Amino acid sequence: MADDSKTARFTTARKAMVDSQLRTSGVNAPFVLARMGSVPREDFVPEAQAAFAYMDRAVPLSGRSALPPPVVQGRMLEEAAPALSDDVLLVDHAPSYLAELLRPLVTSVTVISPEDAVKASRKRTKHTLLIVHGAAEQLPDTLVKRLADDGRIVTGLFDRGVTRIAIGRKSDRDVAFYPVAEMGIPVLEEFAKPKAWSF
């Protein structure tokens, strides 16, 4: 009975998240609402943090990582506009809530940690969509090289203390970004710019 009561509470919280956080923030794509309304977000946070899984704030995970507020995933998913033909490379900490949202919408999802994202890869697979689940000061070349020409990118960007969701596209080994929304996104220390001397 206690488990049924807990399940019911989380189901109610999930519906409230969709209605009170996503819809009111302009996240209205039917596929986003359907996925976020069905995937148990509480399964992707430590048990001690489960009660906070649907609150409009980041939830601390193990180490220095955090699960961003629901609206961040909703907006990222909407901006990514995943297609069934997409081969997605997702930079995230495991287990990945965003990966679970994506899986039925695309051909495949490969999840790598931010630590692995900065390392060179010998794999020849070229992904059509890159999603960075966090805010980066810069994307490492080792990561961009894994993306196919004309591949799409959705990421958080961190600049002068402000985090924004941005979309981009790879062209001639370079990426141009367009910021679309200012949001509170956990910053990825692995993607910080090297510190430079100033006088």
Instruction: Tell me the per-residue pLDDT of 102-119, one tens digit each, with 9 for 90 and over.
Output: 999 999 999 999 999 999
**What's the fold here for domain 2-191?**
Rossmann fold (3.40.50)
Region 91-97 average pLDDT = 90
- How high is the pLDDT of residue 81? 97
pLDDT confidence of 1, banded at 50, 70, 90?
very low
At 74, is the pLDDT very low, low, confident or very high (cuts 50, 70, 90)? very high
What residues pair up with 155 in beta bridges, in sequence order?
A: 132, 166
pLDDT confidence band for 144 (50 / 70 / 90): very high
pLDDT bin (cut points 50, 70, 90) of residue 26 is very high
Q: Could you tell me what percent of the chain has a pLDDT over 70? A: 96
| Higher per-residue pLDDT: 176 or 30 | 30
pLDDT given at position 95: 86
- Predicted confidence at residue 197, as pLDDT, reads 55
Give every strand in the sheet of 174-182, ordered side by side. Answer: 108-112, 87-91, 127-136, 147-159, 162-171, 174-182
Residue with tokens 């080792």: 142
Domain-by-domain residue ranges, the chain? Answer: 2-191
Residue among 141, 65, 64, 139 at smallest CA distance from 97: 65
Q: Is 196's pLDDT higher than 70?
A: no
Averaged pLDDT of the chain: 91
Q: Which two tokens stand for residue 126?
A: 């070229």
Predicted local confidence at residue 2, as pLDDT = 53
What average pLDDT does this structure show over 153-160?
A: 95
Question: What percent of the chain stands above pLDDT 90?
Answer: 77
99 with 77: CB under 8 angstroms?
no
pLDDT at residue number 15: 97
